[in-house]
Amino acid sequence: MKYLFLMRHAQAETLGFQGSDHDRQLTELGEQQARNMAEKIGEQLSKIEFILVSSAARTLATAEIVAKHIALSNDQIKIDQRIYNAESDVLSEVVHELPDIFSTVLLVAHNPGVSELCFNYTDQGISFRPASACLLKADVECWREIGSGTQLLWQKT
C-alpha cells in the first residue's frame, strides 16, 4: 500500500516582486496557511516518511514548515528540479521513481500540475488553492505502479 499526499505551495509574493518566479517567497499569510495545513496533515493516519519538493523558494518553504510540524528532519526533504511548474506527466514520472522503502510521501508542487495529477490518479477534480492538500491511497507495492484507480481518502482545499 502506498499513500501520497499532494500539496500545492502556500501563498507567495506577487505584487511588486522584483526577481524571478522561481525565487518568490511565502507571504506572512502563506506561512500561516502552511502551518494550518501542516496541522491538518499531521492529523491523518498515514505518517509522512519523505517529502519531495520543487526547487522553487515557495515550495521549499512550504515543505520545511510542514516537515517541522510533523517532526520530519530537513534531510528527509528532497528537492527535484523537474517538479518546478511541472505538468502532471512529469510529476507522475517523479512519483514513479520514489524509493519503494517509503510507504507515505508528501509531494509539494505547483498548479495546474498538482490538480491534473490528482485527476489522472483518482478521476476526481479538485481545485488546489494555495496550501491545499489531499491524501491518495494506492493498492500497490511499488511507486511505479501507481496510476488511475487510486483512491482519494482526504482533501482540504
SS3 content of the chain, % helix, strand, coil (to 5): 40, 20, 40
Whether 96 shows a pLDDT value over 80: the answer reads yes
Instruction: Let me know if residue 67 belongs to a domain.
Output: yes
Instruction: Let me know if residue 104 belongs to a domain.
Output: no
**Integer Cα distance of 84 and 113 in angstroms:** 10
Q: Which amino acid is located at 113 in the chain?
A: G
> In whole angstroms, how large is the CA radius of gyration of the chain?
14
Residue 14: what pLDDT? 87
Render 82-148 in DSSP notation, one character per residue.
GGTT--HHHHHHHHHTS-TT-SEEEEEE-TTHHHHHHHHHHS------TT-EEEEEE--SSGGG--T
Residue 102: what pLDDT? 97
CATH number, domain at 64? Answer: 3.40.50.1240
Residue 113: what pLDDT? 97
Residue 15: what pLDDT? 66
**Per the structure block, which three cell numbers stand in for 69?**
510540524
Please give the tally of structural domains in the chain.
1
Residue 111: what pLDDT? 96
Residue 46: what pLDDT? 76
Whether 16 shows a pLDDT value over 80: the answer reads no
Residue 18: what pLDDT? 79
Instruction: Let me know if residue 107 belongs to a domain.
Output: no
Q: How high is the mean pLDDT of the chain?
A: 95
Residue 19: what pLDDT? 84
Q: Which domain holds residue 84?
A: 2-10+23-97+113-151
Residue 45: what pLDDT? 73
Instruction: Let me know if residue 157 belongs to a domain.
Output: no
Give pLDDT tens digits for 30-84.
999 999 999 999 998 778 999 999 999 999 999 999 999 999 998 999 999 999 9
